[in-house]
Amino acid sequence: MSPSRFPFSARFLPWALILTLLILPACDSASSGNDQEEFAYPVELLNEWTEAEPGEVGVNADQLQSALTSARQIDRLTSILVVKDGRIIMEDYLNGAEQSDLHDVRSVTKSVVSTIAGIAVSEGLIPSMDTPISPTLDFVMENMPAESQAVTLENLLTMTGLKT
Classify residue 6 by its DSSP letter.
S
Q: How many CB atoms lie within 10 A of CB 145?
A: 8
> What is the pTM (predicted TM-score) of this model?
0.50
DSSP line for 89-124: EEEEE-TT--TT-----TTHHHHHHHHHHHHHHHTT
63-83 per-position pLDDT tens digit = 999 999 998 999 888 888 898
101-142 per-position pLDDT tens digit = 887 777 788 888 888 888 889 988 888 999 888 887 777 777
9-42 per-position pLDDT tens digit = 444 545 555 555 555 555 554 444 444 455 555 6
The C-alpha atoms of residue 79 and residue 71 are separated, in whole angstroms, by 9
